Copies of this chain bind each other. A is one copy, B any other.
Amino acid sequence: MTPSKKSALKENDGVSQPETTNALSISKIKASRKKERSVESLVSAILEGNITALSQAITLVESKNPQHLEKANAIIKQCLPHANTSVRIGITGVPGVGKSTFIEAFGMHLTAIGKKVAVLAVDPSSSITKGSILGDKTRMEDLVKNKNAFIRPSASGASLGGVARKTRESIILCEAAGYNSIIIETVGVGQSETAVHSMVDFFLLLKLAGAGDELQGIKRGIIEMADSIAINKSDGDNIKATKLAKVEFNRALHLYPEKASNWQPKVTTCSAINEEGIDEIWTIISDYVTLTKGNQFFNDNRREQNKFWLIQTIEEQLKNDFFNNTEVKVELAKQLQLIEDNKTTPFVAADYLLKLKV
């Protein structure tokens, strides 16, 4: 793996490397940062599908440096008219379900039928584990080398909101670079599935037969969000069990009211490792796109998602600004003590805090 190889460049940029190549990786990243490119240069390269430019732009989006963010916003603004032509597919499933193997097989199938595939991830926990998702590229070795695939690990960050925002902006950049199939991977941690659901057109839930976590899925609303459930590892001795699970999940899905999209969620089985049943999943997604583009849900949903993100961002910022204010912090502690001592009510205390000039 030498720095001159295009595929290596694509993989390494912004990704933690195995220990043996860390020094090489760091010097390479530093070198690429020295030659800072202008907004115009980056935008025109992105629109030509240049992977290095795309990676650099995403690095700007993920930066904490205000100047970088300003530059990122300018790039995104110019890319916007060229985005929006893709299908955005969310994929979730518990660890062990075979997500990486599935994305490898699914991505290879999509490129084989002429698609350009970008794989992004939303994993707020990756700030600790340095990109746990997609970090283990050995499971996606064919897709990593594929010239029509772009793989980028999750942005790291303390808050899900921040990570989700960065991923959402990266989608626009990938679409401008000509990727028409955007896969957003997430693990079933906290609210990350809800965040991914609110940025994709189609939500795919990977399951195993007999995992017995249906109640968990119902409770957390994951099954309700799914446009399709694919029961993976349908191979060898496991085929009978996955067929049974298919019947059960079909029954469970019928307990839910009809979706706003008018789409009836489909349950299917697949074996990612044997590359079986993968084409069927793409057919399901294509059917979904045809239906929802026909009945306007596809565009209506993207519009609602944009509105959701606008309101969500404002609300988060209002809360952060208020509760991170030094005076508020001091007075909040005092008011909490007064409440505990039965000397005020939460509502009177709230009025008092809101009247502080913040």
Q: Which residues of A contact B (CB under 8 A)?
A: 73, 76-77, 80-81, 83-84, 165, 168-169, 172, 215, 218-219, 221, 224, 255, 303, 306-310, 313-315, 317-319, 322, 332, 335-336, 339-340, 342-350, 353-354
Contact = CB atoms under 8 A, between A and B. Distances in A.
Nearest to A328: B314
A335 B354 contact: no
Contact of A340 (B169, B255, B303, B309): B303
Contacts of A332: 310
A76 B351 CA distance: 14
24 contacts: A77-B343, A77-B345, A80-B345, A83-B342, A84-B342, A169-B345, A218-B218, A219-B219, A219-B224, A306-B345, A306-B346, A307-B339, A307-B346, A310-B335, A310-B339, A310-B346, A310-B349, A310-B350, A313-B350, A314-B350, A314-B353, A315-B319, A317-B354, A318-B319
> Is chain A's interface secondary structure helix, strand, loop, or mixed overall?
helix
Nearest to A255: B215
Contacts of A347: 165, 168-169, 309, 313
B342 A80 contact: yes
Contacts of A313: 346-347, 350
A256 to B, nearest CB: 9
Contacts of A344: 77, 80
Contacts of A83: 342
Contacts of A339: 303, 306-307, 310
A212 to B, nearest CB: 10
A73 B172 CA distance: 51
Closest 4 CB pairs of A and B: A309-B346, A313-B350, A310-B346, A318-B318
A315 to B, nearest CB: 6
B80 A343 contact: yes
A319 B310 CA distance: 13
A168 B80 CA distance: 48
A335 B335 CA distance: 38
Contacts of A224: 219
Given A168-B347, A310-B350, 14 more contacts: A77-B343, A80-B345, A83-B342, A215-B218, A218-B218, A303-B339, A306-B346, A310-B335, A310-B353, A313-B346, A313-B347, A313-B350, A315-B319, A317-B350
